[in-house]
Structure 1
Amino acid sequence: MILVTGGLGMIGAHTARALVDLGQEVVVTSHRQAEIPSFLDGKVTVESLDVTDAEAFLALGKRHAVSDIVHLAGSIPEDPVSFFRKDLAGLLNALDAARTWGVRRCAVASSLGVYIGRSEIPWHEELDLPTVALPHLIVAFKKSVEPLTTHSLQGSGVQPVVLRIGSTWGPLMDPESPFNPIPPYISAVLRGEKPRPLYAAGGGDFCYSPDAGRAIALLMTTETLRHDTYNVSSGRPHTNRELADALEAITPGLRLDVLPGRQDGPGDNPYLDIARLTHDTGFTPTFDVAKAVADYVAWRAENPR
């Protein structure tokens, strides 16, 4: 059985769904989120868990035969010290459980933000990570997660899997999320409003959440992994022009304003190289921009987020 902490969140739920589709038994944990997505209802075991509670975390191993862990649980920062203390406690408890239970693999969420400061495009796993100012507390924590995970599991027999997850969006994401521009942009269109114009050539590596979940699921189920760090994303840069075109194609009469060029001037949009992921697991994205937008709009017609 594979444990997915934060398994009712966007990436966690889609990871759990992909694992089930691959024939795995899955137990997901959630602390505050109680609503189970329709695509998981009756297909996974749900445990209420505060991952910062070490005793409660380890007690899961008495109720379930956990073979692998995907640690995706996290919080939204308010006070920096409180945020770091909480999310660090959750991470260390997951790593302690992995060693105590003797699981095969323990995957933890990092971020494409660890590459900030590298000018090479695409970003790939062999790049040295620079020491630079980081734009957000979450990115700072994710960067620290990597050595903490690999060193904690060294010599334990548990294989660490560091997930450098790209900018992911899709079903279950906050429609007005400040962390990704796509859901708020589409939400405005669904309300019948004209969204704020985007720069046509701007954009980035925006991975659709079902693809991200399937990539993580493959990393947990593939027999042999040759590395302990993997980029998880679409592996290509998408533009705002593609996003606008996709929305216009499925919305009769819609014409969206886009600005020429990029907001930051000439240059390339960064994206993640997923050659390592593809080579080891066979993963290729199912959704391009048009398919992702159409799928998301259909989902939102029946769901609030």
Structure 2
Amino acid sequence: MAWLVTGGAGYIGAHVVRAFVQAGTPVVVLDALTSGHPQFVPADVPFVRGTILDGDLVRHTLVEHEVTGVVHLAGFKYAGVSVTRPLLTYQQNVTGTATLLEQMQAVGVDQLVFSSSAATYGTPDVDLVTESTPTSPESPYGESKLIGEWLLADQEKAAGLRHTSLRYFNVVGSATPELYDTSPHNLFPVVLRLLAEGRTPQINGDDYPTPDGTCVRDYIHVEDLAATHLAAAHALADGRPLERVYNLGSGDGVSVRQIMTTIAEVTGLDFEPVVAPRRSGDPARIVASGELAARDLGWRMTHDLRSMVASAWEAQQRAAAR
């Protein structure tokens, strides 16, 4: 009896697997290694290389490993790129999720934790995003995540699927230096790589209506995120009632300028970021409440910004030395 983590060889997925292993909950990984890394999967965790688009492989994996629930993280995750590659995004995130649900129903697996995204909200005109904030995604990626949530809700009505979806913004840091963010688009790895190469990072706009003029966002530590995926899985396994959707937010957020200042302090690299023009479509502030998740899933942020930066920098340095 085990939980399947799709995308379990990726940055976030590998941290989720680590949380399951530490809790003594059996787990198996399915990952196509499009952006994942086989070395991120512990040697004693069963690893199946393949895509969730392969229904036969999904079904075989569910049966062979006696899977009772799924944490679904596999998919195409780059919101900006999704605008130029919408068909790939929908194939991976919508068709892939539908295929996974089809095979789960076929073999009687009825529990799923969906790794969704705050991109489902688009650019909300509120100071604090809650689960009742209207969804209005602005990219194929955000749209595909919202459709994924709809698929889960429809399967609940049609086949009794028990599920919940976790929406979050920017995930940073590392729980262990062996697991690190390799995204070519995320702020932390981009800035840290530039600094390691002796180049200067940039801030896109410093004239927003925020305290220091730069954009404010939620940044959450990947270890806290992984712990909440585990908590959601255990809640479903225990039969506890859950909301369909939870935001994993900080409640206050941090600015890009604060991040740059903290990175300089932690790394000891004295730099002044270049201020570039605003990027089209960047809202001044998007911050979410995590109150519902705290109530039902024990969500809390155990890492401050300095800890997030320090763990990310240590992991980046370790990766560069390999």
Aligned equivalents of 1:167, 1:278: Cα separation in 2: 18
Alpha-carbon displacement from aligned partner over 1:40-84 (angstroms, at most 9, x marks no partner) = 422421111221111111111221111110111113656433442
Letter in 1 for 2:307: K
2:232 is matched by which residue type in structure 1?
L
Mapped to 2, the partners of 1:86 and 1:298 lie a distance apart of 32
Q: SS of the residue aligned with 1:216?
A: helix
Asked if residue 166 in structure 1 is aligned to residue 179 in structure 2, the reply is no
How far apart are residue 146 of structure 1 and its match? 1.4
Among the aligned pairs, what percent are the same residue? 21
**Aligned to 2:5, what secondary structure does the other structure show?**
strand
1:212 alignment partner in structure 2: 225
Q: Residues 1-80 of structure 1: matches in 2 within 5 Å?
A: 1-33=2-34, 35-37=37-39, 40-75=41-76, 77=82, 79-80=85-86
The superposition leaves residues 256-290 of structure 1 with CA deviations (integer Å, 9 ceiling, x where unpaired) of 3476xx989xx962112111111001121122211
2:200·2:274 contact (CA, 8 Å) conserved in 1?
no
Kindly report which structure 2 residues correspond to 1:124-203, keeping only aligned pairs within 5 A, or say none.
124-130=130-136, 134-170=137-173, 171-177=179-185, 180-197=186-203, 199=206, 200=212, 201-203=214-216
Q: 1:270 to 1:82 in 2, by over 3 A?
A: closer
Q: Counterpart of 1:160 in structure 2: which amino acid?
A: H
What TM-score does the superposition give when structure 1 sets the normalisation length? Answer: 0.86
Structure 2 residue 307 is the aligned partner of structure 1 residue 298: no
Distance 1:295 1:149 in 2: 34
Q: Which amino acid aligns with 2:38?
A: I
TM-score (norm. length: structure 2): 0.82
Q: Could you tell me which runs of 5 or more consecutive residues in structure 2 were left unpaired when the two chains were aligned.
A: 174-178, 207-211
- In structure 1, runs of 5+ residues without a counterpart are none
Would you say the 8 A contact 1:246–1:293 is kept in 2?
A: yes
**Matched length:** 296
Task: Rate the CA distance shift 1:158–1:8 in 2: closer, same or farther, 3 A.
Answer: same
**Would the alpha carbon gap of residues 117 and 22 (structure 1) be closer, same or farther in structure 2, given more than 3 Å must change?**
same
Question: Following TM superposition, by how much is the alpha carbon of 1:253 offset from its aligned partner in structure 2, in angstroms?
Answer: 5.4
- 1:75-125, Cα deviation, whole Å (9 max, x unpaired): 365643344234322101221233233335212232101112431221111
Distance 1:112 1:255 in 2: 31
Code of the residue aligned with 1:139 in structure 2: it is G
Q: Give the Cα separation in 2 of the matches to 1:251 and 1:31.
A: 34
* 8 Å contact from structure 2 (residues 180, 312) kept in 1: no
Offset from partner CA, 1:123-171 (integer Å, 9 cap, x none): 11122324xxx43221121121111211122253331212213222345
Say whether 1:236 aligns with 2:252: yes
1:250 and 2:266 matched: yes
- Tell me, in whole angstroms, the C-alpha distance in 2 between the residues paired with 1:143 and 1:72: 14
1:95 aligns with 2:101: yes
Amino acid at match of 1:256: E
Counterparts of 1:86 and 1:206, CA distance in 2: 26
